Structure 1
Amino acid sequence: MKFLLTALLLVHTVQSIVDDTGFSRGACLQTINLARAAFAEKLQVANMNSLNYNKRLEGAIHQQLSFVDGCPSPSIISHKNLDIYLNVQGQEDLIVELLSGTDNTVLACVKSECNGEPIVSIVTDVSDSVPIAGAPGTECPSDRFAMSNGLCALKRNARRNWSLWGTIKQGYQAAEKWVEEKVVEPVAKTGKEIGEALNSM
């Protein structure tokens, strides 16, 4: 259930960067880090890294898109120590896979078109780490520190990351509220109703 709730959160927020006015490198980075923080909080992952944007990785997405005339099926391609998530919007399984890589450090995003429809693809470095259970940010690697959102940020980027988190904190709180109102409460209500129906049989 927790995986589903977090996947729905990112499905919703990824959709917001697919439209014509919402997509930018910064918006994509903030959206993914926002969802990683929510993922770490919901599942109590202690070693989730904050990602940095690497524009040079965009070429890996463009190369994969060129192989399929710009219209990829939703999929993950692993190539040269990169994981390339093609056509991710609405794909809960790809999104959960994207979020579960705790030691990813970088990403890049590309918005393109397939038959006139916008699609978004994302690339990250390969993650081999295992999530550590615990309060978010309590098991950060030695070269990272815990930000207030529970992600582990590079120490050399400390000032920038603290500033960035300040600018997206309201968005994070809004996303948490959306999950609570649109997913958690209805699911809890339905579960209660099912339980009551079973008890009355």
Structure 2
Amino acid sequence: MRSLLLIGLLIVHSANCQGPTNELYIGKVNGLRSVYAQLYQQADMNELVYREDLEQLIANQLAKSNGCPDSSIVKRDGYHIILNYEGELKYTVITQSGSTVLAATTTTCPENGETVVGIIVDGADTEPVRGAAGTHCPVGRTRNPNGLCALVGNGRRGYVRKDIDVKIPTTIIETGIRVPHIWFPKRVPDDLIPEIPDDIKILDLPDVFPW
């Protein structure tokens, strides 16, 4: 049943995937956001833009644990930094309609050699506008063919390079407040379930969240 497939797409993950890379990653995130906006009738779901400069904020957070963090979500300076987090809150990258930017890194814990995946997205803790996807875009954005609210003009910049190799800095900065409030719908009426685009597969979510 298509509804079960989509719900599974939003909650299932795997450890047998590589970390996030380049524009393919942001494309998959936006693809999942498009499906989610249709599925949950979110009229103001923004298209995310990759920001390489935000990778440094992930690196700064990793420095607090010498590159070997516990699974966590940290809220800092208006951003949500997600580090190998196992819980439902990691899906804020997909579910927060008001978010606009994203960055991701893969690093290696020097203590055990395990891969650490870090994701950062700007926080948007308000409830989304209900309605058909892309019908209530914020000022300066317009509906794109996928039903996401895209920046008017050329707003795309700073896609991630193919091989991310973030060095852990020694500067330690103040941490933020953990576990931000996230709006997460509980139920989807069967008549509102959209068709799954051909380019969105069940394996896309593990590519986005490989832990």
TM-score by length of 2: 0.66
Query: Any residues of structure 2 matched to 1:1-201 within 5 Å, and which?
Result: 4-8=7-11, 11=13, 16-18=17-19, 23-88=20-85, 91-114=86-109, 115-157=112-154, 173-176=198-201, 178=202
Using the alignment, how far apart are the partners of 1:17 and 1:45 within structure 2? 30
Q: 1:101/1:57 Cα in 2 relative to 1: closer, same or farther (>3 Å)?
A: same
Deviation at 1:119, TM superposition (A): 2.7
Match of 1:96, SS state, is: helix
Using the alignment, how far apart are the partners of 1:78 and 1:71 within structure 2? 18
**Any idea what the Cα deviations from partners look like across 1:57-88, whole Å, max 9, x if unmatched?**
11110011111121222211011111111114
Higher relative contact order by CA 8 Å / sep ≥ 6: 1 or 2? 2
Report % sequence identity: 32
Aligned AA (1:7): L
Using the alignment, how far apart are the partners of 1:95 and 1:34 within structure 2? 17
**Which structure has the highest helix share of the two?**
1
Aligned AA (1:94): L
Using the alignment, how far apart are the partners of 2:199 and 2:95 within structure 1? 22
Match of 2:153, SS state, is: helix
Match of 1:38, SS state, is: helix
Contact preservation (8 Å) 1:102, 1:127? yes
Deviation at 1:29, TM superposition (A): 1.4
Using the alignment, how far apart are the partners of 1:131 and 1:65 within structure 2? 31
Q: 1:29/1:86 Cα in 2 relative to 1: closer, same or farther (>3 Å)?
A: same
Contact preservation (8 Å) 2:108, 2:114? yes
Using the alignment, how far apart are the partners of 2:96 and 2:84 within structure 1? 18
Match of 1:135, SS state, is: coil
Q: CA RMSD in A?
A: 2.8
Total equivalences in the alignment: 160
Deviation at 1:121, TM superposition (A): 1.0
Contact preservation (8 Å) 1:140, 1:146? yes
Contact preservation (8 Å) 2:73, 2:90? no
Q: Which has the larger radius of gyration?
A: 1
Structure 1 residue ranges (4+ consecutive) displaced by more than 6 angstroms after TM superposition: none
